[in-house]
Amino acid sequence: QVQFVESGGGLVQPGGSLRVSCAASGFTFSSYAMSWYRQAPGKQRELVATISRVGITNYADSVKGRFTISRDNTKNTVYLEMNSLKPEDTAVYYCKGPSSISAWGLGTQVTVSS
């Protein structure tokens, strides 16, 4: 059974940093690209960052230069390091496997506010 368990969210002030993690299970993690998505209140879920199975990364323009996606294949975990956070980064953050896997985790809430 495929599972994604996100953690590490919280409340942070504008300009601050946070790292969220996602532990994956139920499939061969090292063989697939992984992505982070986010969904803000009243908005559609959007793609934030993707990392290929060999570590090639891509980012949405809104987070480029501030966010870093990484993975540890020995721990079946993908990370999202978020720096210079802005109020508009407030959202529930989800990780996602390949399109062939439909499962989503519960997400982790990130709130950027003073």
The pLDDT tens digits for 52-105 are 999 999 999 999 999 999 999 999 999 999 999 999 999 999 999 988 888 999
How many other C-beta atoms are found inside a 10 Å radius of the C-beta of residue 5?
14
User: Rounded CA gap, 105 and 66, in Å?
Assistant: 24
Angle, CA of 83, 69 and 32, to the nearest 5°: 165
Question: What does the block give as tokens for 56?
Answer: 């090639």
Give yes or no for residue 43 having a pLDDT over 90: yes
